[in-house]
Structure 1
Amino acid sequence: MADTAAMMDTSIDPIALRRAFGTFVTGVTVITTLDEDGTPRGMTANSFTSVSLNPPLLLVCVAKSASSYQAFTGSDCFAVNILHEGQVDVSATFASKSPDKFQSVNHDRIHTGAPVLTDSLTWFDCSVFNRMDAGDHAVLIGEVRAFGTSPSAPLGFCRGRYASVKDPLPAGWLASHGMIIGYLIEANDHLLLRSDGKGGWVLPTARRRKADSQLVVDGGGALRLLPDNTFLYSVFDVADSDPGYLIYRARLADEGMPADLPVGLKFFHVDEIPYEQVPTHELRSMLRRYVRERREMRFGIYMDSDDGGRVAMIDGEAHAWMQSSHE
């Protein structure tokens, strides 16, 4: 007990304490809000935790020394964006003093108006439930108004550096109905692919399939498609723990390829698709089948099964259901 008392009487070394706090493995978040002029503000933070399910509450801590401190303490809303393993650059950007942090990321407004990073592991859109002064930080407790998540792997942080998290998606974590919706989007003999943040290329994805001309892709940005040329192409699983894939084929409404694609998206000529950089066998096989079928413009619909799957070929031109029902 004497040793304990002596330690308590000794002043705490803030550097040593910071290192001790840093041994707790956390994720990495970017917290965002709007200042009084409506300008988006944001900073990297790992002082985040859940608080309550009923009501749905979480908390973040904002240093009083942060340049966006006044914006966070003066706003009635904020968002917490948990980063995935491919977003080290995003973490670095929002940890910097750059005046243009939001120029390099896609963001949207969902419920409260706080900026939500559309390419993230998980996001929470919150209204301020309570604020508390706590030493050199302010504690913000937010009430979750909307949230979204993805099957990506999280970006970890420990002892002042980034850390990898193994087995991020246990079996059964996502419900089977949470299908990943991907798109084969073509323009001028080129196919649109999305960087997976790890040196590979996958299909662009969307939260849901809408039968209109605007498709908001994950990662931000909207693409104008020809709704009459959008059809189901493939349904398959990659692993038992995977939520499954619904793949549609589509075509851009505008002639040519847009010059201002969202970050991470790129068009490849159909004869130059980087198959060796596509991370899964299932996606590679589907892309090769698509390229093969488009040569004859005769496409099939693939459904996987235990014995390798089934393909039903589609013959003839598409026309409206109302026209078909009156023939």
Structure 2
Amino acid sequence: MAMQAAVPDNRTTIDPIALRRAFGTFVTGVTVITTVDAEGHPRGMTANSFASVSLDPPLLLVCVGKGASSYPTFAGAGKFAVNLLSDAQTDVSNLFASKATDKFAAVNHDVVHTGAPVLTDCLTWFDCSMHDRVEAGDHMILIGRVQAFGTSPSAPLGFCRGRYAQVKDPLPPGWLSSTDMIVGYLIEAQGDVLLVADGKGGWVLPTAPRRPVNGRLPVAGGGELSLVSDETFLYSVFDVDGHDSGYLIYRARLAEARGELTLPPGFRFFSPDSLPYDRIESVEMRAMLRRFVRETAGGGSYSIYMGSPDGGRVATVGAAQPWAQHVQS
């Protein structure tokens, strides 16, 4: 039998440290991936090896290092969430990259669809069931099928060359779909209205990334406001010409005394006769504020406005009443 000559191995040896640095020149976002262990305890870790895979079916992937302390939990999980961090969440990234024993104590989180923890204040979250697992060297690729997701207009947290990076102009005009709604709050305190600077010399209503919890409203830009829960109700729903997003506006009253309140940067109270209408860009927003001033002066008999192509509808409502009064047997 003829002898076969050995084929030389021409592969060069790769320096793993140099390769890691080369991989690190690719600008990525930063995620916190989360799941629950066999006892139902939340587990999470920071990762930046994330990618979208498919729209139909809706799939994504994230890579988990086999040396990570949470690796066994993720490798055996049937569900997980991927939470993309905003540029104000470097502390969250550092927390979940650490060996802290209770990483979830300092972050707001909830369950949405699968039961995996979702970080409610992040840039974007994807709640996934496990679609597939792929062994890949010293990592495992988790492929998740998206069951629910949510996003916000915050700027993303970037990562490049082993450090955090800023991403400019994260939300160009027209990015949001027409089905998205901006949630704003028309907040009154002692007859005055709370507005926030828009960064362009104008004023807008405060917006929030999520609904109030126990009367505490997290406002976009950071900080919280305390509202009277029983006096917070839907006030106006409308579209704005030239914008893809519609508006949901809630009427609310501040629970704290003005003298005890430290407002977040850019926030300011205006009396009804000094509202800066000429510095509020939206015609619809100006009209809504004028209606609010008229209704307040008329004794507080407020209405709900619903926009429509023919001019909209207004339904008058009485004083807000606690929900418990309507569900008692």
Alignment TM-score > 0.5, same fold: yes
Which residue of structure 1 lines up, in the alignment, with residue 286 of structure 2? 309
In the alignment, structure 1 segments of 5+ residues that lack a partner are 1-5, 195-201, 258-266, 279-283, 296-301
What is the Cα deviation at residue 305 of structure 1? 1.8
Residue type of the partner of 1:137? H
What is the Cα deviation at residue 251 of structure 1? 3.5
Could you say if the C-alpha distance between residues 115 and 191 of structure 1 is closer, same or farther in structure 2, counting changes exceeding 3 Å? farther
Residue type of the partner of 1:58? L
Which residue of structure 1 lines up, in the alignment, with residue 92 of structure 2? 90
For 1:234-253, list aligned pairs within 5 A.
Answer: 243=245, 245-251=247-253
Work out whether residues 49 and 60 of structure 1, in 8 Å CA contact, stay in contact via their aligned partners in 2: yes
Which residue of structure 1 lines up, in the alignment, with residue 5 of structure 2? none
Which residue of structure 1 lines up, in the alignment, with residue 33 of structure 2? 31
Residue type of the partner of 1:305? V
User: Match for 1:162 among 164, 169, 172?
Assistant: 164
Indicate the RMSD between aligned Cα atoms, in angstroms. Answer: 4.3
Alpha-carbon separation, structure 2, partners of 1:225 and 1:273: 17
Could you say if the C-alpha distance between residues 89 and 229 of structure 1 is closer, same or farther in structure 2, counting changes exceeding 3 Å? closer
Aligned residues with identical type, % of pairs: 54
Residue type of the partner of 1:230? F
The superposition leaves residues 158-177 of structure 1 with CA deviations (integer Å, 9 ceiling, x where unpaired) of 11111111211121111344
SS class of match (2:61):
strand
The superposition leaves residues 152-211 of structure 1 with CA deviations (integer Å, 9 ceiling, x where unpaired) of 1111111111111121112111134423212355789999999xxxxxxx94515579xx
Residue type of the partner of 1:158? C
Work out whether residues 158 and 167 of structure 2, in 8 Å CA contact, stay in contact via their aligned partners in 1: yes
Larger displacement relative to structure 2 (181-190 or 114-123): 181-190
- The answer to whether residue 233 in structure 2 is matched with residue 230 in structure 1 is yes
Work out whether residues 190 and 270 of structure 1, in 8 Å CA contact, stay in contact via their aligned partners in 2: no
What is the Cα deviation at residue 309 of structure 1? 3.5
Which residue of structure 2 lines up, in the alignment, with residue 133 of structure 1? 135
Work out whether residues 239 and 247 of structure 2, in 8 Å CA contact, stay in contact via their aligned partners in 1: yes
Alpha-carbon separation, structure 2, partners of 1:65 and 1:163: 26
Which residue of structure 1 lines up, in the alignment, with residue 324 of structure 2? none
Which residue of structure 2 lines up, in the alignment, with residue 105 of structure 1? 107
Alpha-carbon separation, structure 2, partners of 1:7 and 1:154: 44
Which residue of structure 1 lines up, in the alignment, with residue 200 of structure 2? none
Could you say if the C-alpha distance between residues 112 and 224 of structure 1 is closer, same or farther in structure 2, counting changes exceeding 3 Å? farther
- The answer to whether residue 25 in structure 2 is matched with residue 47 in structure 1 is no
Which residue of structure 1 lines up, in the alignment, with residue 73 of structure 2? 71
Could you say if the C-alpha distance between residues 71 and 86 of structure 1 is closer, same or farther in structure 2, counting changes exceeding 3 Å? same
Larger displacement relative to structure 2 (40-49 or 181-190): 181-190
Alignment TM-score, normalising by the size of structure 2: 0.70
Which residue of structure 1 lines up, in the alignment, with residue 272 of structure 2? 293
In the alignment, structure 2 segments of 5+ residues that lack a partner are 1-7, 197-204, 275-279, 304-315, 320-329
SS class of match (1:59):
strand
Could you say if the C-alpha distance between residues 246 and 31 of structure 1 is closer, same or farther in structure 2, counting changes exceeding 3 Å? same
Alpha-carbon separation, structure 2, partners of 1:241 and 1:151: 14
